[in-house]
Amino acid sequence: QVQLVDSGGGLVQAGGSLRLSCAASGRTFGSYAMGWFRQAPGKERVFVAAISRSGGSTFYADSVKGRFTCSRDNAKNTVSLQMNSLKPEDTAVYYCAASSKAPSRLSSWYDYWGQGTQVTVSS
C-alpha cells in the first residue's frame, strides 16, 4: 500500500508560479506511475499530468501543456508539479495519485490518492 501526502498549494497572482509536491510512503514508489488531477468547485476531477515509473515519459492536459512540468525523484519517493504562468482557471484542489498500471488520463486507473492541496490564482 502507498500513502501519498500532497503539499505546496497556496494563493498566487495570475502569472505567478507554484511547485506542488507529493511524498509517498513505502519502498515501492518506483513501481508506480504517478498522476496529478485537479478539481474546481462544482466540477469533476480532471487530469492534469502524469509521469511514467522511470520518469522518462510525461503526459499533460492540453490546458497546461507548456506551463506545467511533472517530475519525480524515485530515490526520495517524491513527485512534483511545477506550475508556471498560472491563470485564474487553474484554481482548484490538486491531487496526486499512484497507479500500479501505466500512466493514464483516467482517474479510475489510479489506486491511491493524496488528500489534495488547494491552489488559488487571483486575477
Tens of pLDDT, residue by residue over 45-64, are: 999 999 999 999 999 999 99
pLDDT value, residue 71:
98
pLDDT value, residue 27:
75
DSSP 8-state assignment for residue 10: E
In angstroms, the CA 94 to CA 122 distance is: 16
* Three-state secondary-structure class, residue 40: coil
Alpha-carbon separation of residue 98 from 54, 102, 112 (angstroms): 13, 10, 5
pLDDT value, residue 106:
96
